[in-house]
Amino acid sequence: MLGTKRPSEESGFKSVPPKGRRLKRKKMTKNGREDSDNRFEGSAEEVLLKDIKWLLQNTHSNGTPPSEERNDPPQLFSQLEASVTMLASTGDGLAVSEDGTRVFVIPFTIPGDKALIKVVKNYPSYSTTDMLEIREPSRNRRDDLVFCKYFGKCSGCQFQMLSDDYQLEHKRQVVEKAMKNFSNLEPSLIPPVGKIMPSPLSKGYRTKLTPHFDGPRRGGFKEDAPVPDIGFQLKGRNFVLDIEDCPIGTQPVRDGMKFQREHVQQNLHTFKRGATLLLRESTQRQFSRAASGDQLPHYEDTKSCITDSKAFVTEWVGNFKFSSPAGAFFQNNNSILPHFTDFIREQLYIPMASPEQGYVTNSYLIDAYCGSESAKKNAKENGIQNARFITGNAESIFVNIDFPPEQTSVVIDPPRKGCDELFLSQLLSLSPKRIVYISCNVHTMARDIGWFVQQSSGRDYTIEKLGGFDFFPQTHHVEGYAVLSKSG
């Protein structure tokens, strides 16, 4: 196995957007004209616009889009009733105006809901709104499942009123739509999307929370300053919603949140500005002598909450121990990680020519977006001796790799913006036998997979599997995967 350094969580090997993949967003200014700003293909805005366009086209009986003649947008802060007909990939309900020319984006709603809404912002083809009241609930709405008193205001969760099965099927459809809308591939090249693998925990699973509070623009907090709201973003606003407890977090993280809130309240005058608070779970495992006849070692885990971003935290995934700075990236749902890593490992095996022969035994693995320094330490800590780590760069990421392509698998897990064409071109030149693409943004994954398959003429890469894992229950997020194999 060989790992290459992941430069940062916010950018891939190249910090600039992929060439030719920038788009312009049109929006309404105060005088009703259209303005534009940049967004990348696969961004939340672009994903929402795809759903809105599809809904407007299919609202009309002949499947054609509405007239280009634009009606006046609704008055800001006006209230009206709307019937939700679609759940967007971004997690919001969508309803079409009576004249069929505009979509209302309504948070915390699902198809079948009739809601009283308030218009808060207008764009050329849609309006964002606040949901004020559910007038008629959908038959799929389960308000009895809601377990957080802040749900419906906090921007963290969208789906607490939905059953686990409904959430999983919706997320499967999100992956399906992503491949349809962003891959630019013929339908015959896209296999059916498999079931989304559920998380063992649907609440109390997050091992990291980052509540925050705003401060004065200058001068810091005064001795007698009122305590600001400490929590998470209010849905649809750039304001902080005061939150005392978040049941999505693990118990140590929830306890840490209460402690940190008290610390800020008692020491507010020491802060010069607002701050983001880090709450990160750490696990200390104490092994004990196994009883006679037991096959597995006995151990006891002690959990704690770390608040210093530079302090090291420890997490266990199966029998593997990982240590990293508390402020560094690490998956935030440890309950699903063993299932996830087992599945990915199985996909990386290279099969022999016939199934009866099993798998290639002398094979190689490249992890193109892994860590380097902490990765080296963790490999040593876990007794891994067949891995080495190199620091790569965008222009020559695979220059020092001479693995035989037919015996090589590659796993890539890029940042949300996905891969750039420079990296994908080098991956194509490397021509590995198998590729497993993992992504927190299934739309940029679809874009990258589509480009790769289209450019692989002569190498005959096919998409073998598509699916996802539910790393973040109660939210619209889904961790997607695609398995590619090269024929021959």
Binding-site residues sit at 331, 413
Judge whether 480 and 471 are in contact, CB under 8 Å: no
- According to DSSP, residue 359 is labeled B
Instruction: Cite the annotated binding site for S-adenosyl-L-methionine by residue number.
Output: 331, 413
How many residues does the structure list for the chain?
488
Q: Which of 339, 293, 393 is nearest to 12 (CA)?
A: 393
Q: Which of 281, 347, 349 is nearest to 313 (CA)?
A: 281
Question: What does the CA dihedral 279, 283, 284, 285 come to, rounded to 10 degrees?
Answer: 170
Question: What does the CA dihedral 186, 412, 159, 247 come to, rounded to 10 degrees?
Answer: 180
Tell me the CA distances in angstroms from 27 to 23, 45, 121, 126, 201, one per residue in order.
13, 11, 10, 10, 40
Residue 75, CB-side half-sphere exposure with 13 Å CA sphere = 4
CA dihedral over 134, 140, 141, 143, signed as positive or negative: positive
Judge whether 439 and 414 are in contact, CB under 8 Å: yes
- According to DSSP, residue 293 is labeled T
408 class by beta-carbon count within 10 Å (0-12 exposed, 13-18 middle, 19+ buried): buried
Judge whether 160 and 152 are in contact, CB under 8 Å: no
Contacts of 149 (CB under 8 A, 6+ apart): none
Distance, in Å, from the CA atom of 316 to the CA atom of 466, rounded to the nearest integer, reads 27
Distance, in Å, from the CA atom of 181 to the CA atom of 178, rounded to the nearest integer, reads 5
Distance, in Å, from the CA atom of 462 to the CA atom of 449, rounded to the nearest integer, reads 10
| Token pair recorded at residue 307 | 């608040």
| Token pair recorded at residue 265 | 């309240």
Judge whether 403 and 364 are in contact, CB under 8 Å: yes
Contacts of 116 (CB under 8 A, 6+ apart): 79, 80, 81, 131, 132, 133, 135
Distance, in Å, from the CA atom of 56 to the CA atom of 126, rounded to the nearest integer, reads 10
User: 157, 305, 419, 440: which one is catalytic?
Assistant: 440
State yes or no: is 370 an active-site residue: no
Radius of gyration of the chain (CA): 24
* Residues designated as active site: 440
